[in-house]
Structures are given as C-alpha cells and as structure tokens.
C-alpha cells in the first residue's frame, strides 16, 4: 500500500477515535476468511458479540473495535458477530426496523475498510423473516452467531461480550 494512502487511513481512524472520545459517540473490506488483517495474518484476534439493537450499545462496541485497531496499529483480526436483535445493524435501511443515525453506518463502513469483519447470523435472518439480500454489503452471512463464536474461539479469537 502506498505510504500516502496508509497515512490517510490512519488519520481517518485517528479522527474517528477522537470524535468518539470527544463525546459524539453518545449514542469491511469484505473478508472471505479469517486471519487476514490489513497487514496479513495476525497473532491478535478478537470477536465481539453484538446481540442488541440499542444504538448506544452498538456505538460502544464499534468504538471498542476502533480502539483495539489503534492499539495494535491495525495488526489485529476483528470479527463483530451480529445476531438476535443485533442483526439490525447489518440490515439495509429500506428493510430495517431501526433507523440508526448516519454516524453508526459510517463507523461500520470505516471499520470494514480496516478489515473488521461483520458476521450476520442466518438463523436470526430467517427468524425475523428477512433474506440475505436484505443485508448491507459488508455483512458476511454465517449459519449461526452462536456457532460462529464457538468456532472463532477455537481458532484463538478472544471473546468480548458486552
């Protein structure tokens, strides 16, 4: 990656964290596999459980993921596993029961550019009578959020539950 582009991404992430720290946090490159952060395979791995639709809860998890990225200087593989009511974070606006503020959508997009993977539970999608096509483009469908958490922990991912 050219140094200028990498510097711009780091500045953007720094700005994202600064904005969050200043209080506006009140309230993917789409990866096909795991173990490939921005710099290739990483020894640092974390999976977040996101299972609520509350905007403040979601913002806290997204902020935490940004802090982890910054701490490890982008040398970390992060998965945010969305299931239950948390699935709404990954549902397209036209089909979404929740109208999240633009800041939340911007954070999802920017985190995905840093390689954060957003997994969407297909069991939940079926339960709430949605289709895969109702998901945002960064969503990575998985059979089950719970099973995904188990498998990721087997692969060495640290599990964060909020």
> pTM for the full model?
0.77
Query: Residue 74: which of 82, 84, 65, 83 has the closest Cα?
Result: 65
Tens digits of pLDDT across the chain (162 residues): 444 444 444 444 554 444 443 333 222 333 334 444 555 678 999 999 999 999 999 999 999 999 999 999 999 999 999 999 999 999 999 999 899 999 999 999 999 999 999 999 999 999 999 999 999 999 999 999 999 999 999 999 999 998
C-alpha span between 36 and 135 (Å, rounded) = 23
Domains in the chain: how many in total? 1
What's the CATH number where 58 sits? 3.40.1260.10
**Coil vs helix vs strand at 44:** coil
C-alpha span between 83 and 49 (Å, rounded) = 8
Query: Residue 106: which of 161, 34, 24, 21 has the closest Cα?
Result: 24
Range of the domain at 148: 3-161
In the chain, what are the helix, strand and coil shares in percent, each to the nearest 5?
50, 20, 35
């Amino acid at each position: 990656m050219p140094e200028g582009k990498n510097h711009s991404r780091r500045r953007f992430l720094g700005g994202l964290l600064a904005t969050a720290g200043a209080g506006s946090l009140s309230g993917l490159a789409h990866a096909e596999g795991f173990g490939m952060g921005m710099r290739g395979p990483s020894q640092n791995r974390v999976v977040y459980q996101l299972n609520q639709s509350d905007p403040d809860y979601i913002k806290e998890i997204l902020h935490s993921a940004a802090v982890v990225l910054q701490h490890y200087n982008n040398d970390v593989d992060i998965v945010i596993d969305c299931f239950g009511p948390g699935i709404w974070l990954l549902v397209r606006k036209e089909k979404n029961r929740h109208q999240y503020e633009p800041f939340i959508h911007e954070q999802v997009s920017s985190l995905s550019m840093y390689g954060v993977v957003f997994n969407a539970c297909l069991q939940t999608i079926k339960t709430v009578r949605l289709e895969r096509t109702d998901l945002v483009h960064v969503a990575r469908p998985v059979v089950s959020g719970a099973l995904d958490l188990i498998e990721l922990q087997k692969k060495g991912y640290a599990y964060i539950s909020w």
